[in-house]
Structure 1
Amino acid sequence: MVSLKQVEEMIQAKLPGAQVFVRDLTGGGDHLEAVVVSAEFEGKTRVKQHQLVYSALQEAMASEAIHALALKTYTPQAWQAEGQPV
């Protein structure tokens, strides 16, 4: 099992400068939700955005340390449009 902090760090290693919020959905540590805000997402489709995040977590997901991941990705502008601080 990986910690929420480790997941956050893995994503930030792939997407430097990203804001990453990770939470455990079930209390078991293997069903997670990640919200990622990154300028790297500019001009990319939602699928490409998600692929960037999944590539950062590939090893943890392959070993089933992360069994399920709910993922929400935003550009900084889209995040701000949601009423969230950048």
Structure 2
Amino acid sequence: MAMEASEIEALIKEALPDAKVTVEDLAGDGDHYAATVISDQFRGLSRVRQHQIVYAALRGRMGGALHALALQTSAPE
């Protein structure tokens, strides 16, 4: 079952309310997305930890409803 970009964005914003989130469907199939997430909550965290926070926000959908997510994360400059 595919996911909508708006659903991915909503899940991330629920976990990170201050985040600026951009989600793009890369293949038009609802399974392959690219997301950019900018949140002050990432300040001082490693890139790995930032990605773990985003994956946790997706509540286990990675590898199931969401096949692939190219993820870029950062704190605001």
- Fold conserved (TM > 0.5)? yes
Pick the structure with more helix per residue: 1
1:5-53 superposed Cα distances (whole Å, 9 cap, x missing partner): 0100000011111000000111111011000000000000000000000
Amino acid at match of 1:68: A
Which sections of structure 2, spanning at least 5 residues, go unmatched? none
The aligned counterpart of 1:29 is: 30
TM-score (norm 1): 0.84
Extract structure 1 runs of 4+ deviating beyond 4 A.
none
Note if contact 1:2-1:65 (Cα within 8 Å) is conserved in structure 2: yes
TM-score (norm 2): 0.93
Amino acid at match of 1:2: M
Would you say how many aligned residue pairs link Structure 1 and Structure 2? 76
SS of equivalent residue, structure 1 residue 60: coil
Give the whole-Å Cα distance in 1 for the aligned partners of 2:65 and 2:23. 14
In the alignment, is residue 74 of structure 1 matched against residue 53 of structure 2? Answer: no
Larger Rg: 1
Give the whole-Å Cα distance in 1 for the aligned partners of 2:52 and 2:44. 14
Question: Percent of aligned positions with the same letter in both sequences?
Answer: 47
